[in-house]
Amino acid sequence: MRRLTLPALLLAPVCALAQIIVPPMPAQKRAAFEACLAQTNRDEHAVLACLRKVDERETTPPRPQPQPPQPQPQQPPTAPTPPETTPTQAEQDYDAIYGQGYNPVADPSLPAPAQLPTTYDPWEKLNRKVHGFNNVVDRHVAKPLAHAYVAVVPRPVRLGVGNFFSNLGQPISAVNALLQGKPKQAAQALGRFALNSTLGWGGLFDPASNVNLPHHSEDFGQTLGMWGWKRSRYVELPLFGPRTVRDVFGMVGDAPLAPIRTLQDDRARVFLQGLQLVDVRTQLMAVDSMREGATDDYALVRDAWTQRRNYQIFGDRAQQATRDEDLPDYLQEDQDNPIVPADAMPVMPTDVH
């Protein structure tokens, strides 16, 4: 009995100490404290250590558990915002004069843009086929002859040949100038023909230009245009090249006055006609490089020829309304149009054996 009483008496102070040290606590915290205390020898040091451990666990927030990554919804790509640029001094000056946001293209106060004349070409499908045929003949016959002519014949001789054929066209120019009501040009054309045919050795030289007799080139196609036939459909003839229906009638009207066609000697006439064709092709060599880079050779030739022809016919009226001294030199000089002339029209042979 004495042995049992002594341990009980010793245990009472320990429990009282535990009651003093361990104050009342919540059930969850008490369970954690008792679990910690069960793993020790339950002395006063163990009690203090378990209290400290439970207090630290309560004050430290629980570490969050790692969550699996959630797929992010794809956002549509947005266009980058252009950086704002400060206007230059030139742009500021432009805005100060014309106002901010001025559009010179949509300005209603500006005059209407110039309208280029269009070619009346309802026969384009047929004309393109003829143009292809003429290109084949030019590529294999006319152009090689022109290159051979330039390579063999010296330039002074070629210049004399060109003067000779240009002089032969002056009587036709004189007649058409009279029909167009231009007596001054008709007199100048006759004066050039007379002077170059005599002092110029049959037209090989050009003394008329030295005495300031201007050169004019008029034909019956221009006369028909001056008489009122303004619009005419475009047509390309085999071997003769670009024309209009008006100019076809004009070529037929000029043919009886062509000096070469009046020759009775067939050999001399054919030789001169062939030499004249080669001379015309030589003059056209200057535009060959321009035609090589064209995407549509037919449209280039058609439009360029039509604009030149319209200027020859209707540009004279503007020149008559303006004094000659007010015009630039390149408009005062009326050069021959490098096309197949009326002299080249074939003639039935006269020597029949």
Is the pLDDT at 69 greater than 50? The verdict is yes
Residue 80: partners with Cβ closer than 8 Å, 6 or more residues away? none
- Whether residue 39 lies inside any domain: the answer is no
CA-angle at 53, arms to 52 and 55, nearest 5°: 65
- For residue 127, the model assigns a pLDDT of 97
- For residue 287, the model assigns a pLDDT of 84
Mark 129-157 as b/e (b = at least 16 C-beta within 10 Å). ebbeebbeebeeebbeebeebeeeeeeee
Q: What is the pLDDT of residues 343-352, one digit of tens each?
A: 677 765 655 4
Which among 271, 274, 273, 265 has a CA at the least distance from the CA of 350?
265
Mean pLDDT of 249-264: 91
- Whether residue 189 lies inside any domain: the answer is yes
Q: Which two tokens stand for residue 106?
A: 């949509």
- For residue 172, the model assigns a pLDDT of 94
Single-letter residue type at 209? S
Is the pLDDT at 119 greater than 90? The verdict is no
- Whether residue 145 lies inside any domain: the answer is yes
The answer to whether 139 touches 132, Cβ cutoff 8 Å, is no
Is the pLDDT at 8 greater than 50? The verdict is no
pTM of the model: 0.62
Q: Supply the DSSP string of 335-350, one letter for each residue.
A: PPP-S--GGGS----S
**232: containing domain:** 124-344
Is the pLDDT at 282 greater than 60? The verdict is yes
The whole-angstrom separation of Cα 146 and Cα 142 is 6
Q: What is the pLDDT of residues 36-48, one digit of tens each?
A: 767 776 666 666 7
Q: Which CA distances in Å does 120 have to 134, 159, 221, 267, 316?
A: 21, 36, 16, 40, 22
DSSP structure class, residue 121: -
| Helices 44-59 + 27-38 axis angle, to 10 | 140
Is the pLDDT at 301 greater than 60? The verdict is yes
Domain count, the chain: 1
C-beta neighbour count of 127 within 10 angstroms: 19
Q: Which CA distances in Å does 280 have to 143, 175, 221, 275, 288?
A: 11, 23, 19, 9, 13
Q: Which two tokens stand for residue 49?
A: 């250590």
- For residue 60, the model assigns a pLDDT of 59
DSSP structure class, residue 141: I
| Beta bridge pairs of residue 241 | 237
The whole-angstrom separation of Cα 33 and Cα 71 is 43
Identity of the highest mean pLDDT range in 51-65, 110-124, 190-204: 190-204
- Whether residue 337 lies inside any domain: the answer is yes
Mean pLDDT of 244-268: 92
- Whether residue 64 lies inside any domain: the answer is no
Is the pLDDT at 336 greater than 60? The verdict is no
Is the pLDDT at 178 greater than 90? The verdict is yes
Q: What is the pLDDT of residues 238-255, one digit of tens each?
A: 999 999 999 999 999 999
Q: Which two tokens stand for residue 24?
A: 């009342």
- Whether residue 24 lies inside any domain: the answer is no
Cα atoms in the Cβ-side hemisphere of radius 13 Å centred on 205: 8
- For residue 87, the model assigns a pLDDT of 75
- Whether residue 326 lies inside any domain: the answer is yes
- Whether residue 55 lies inside any domain: the answer is no
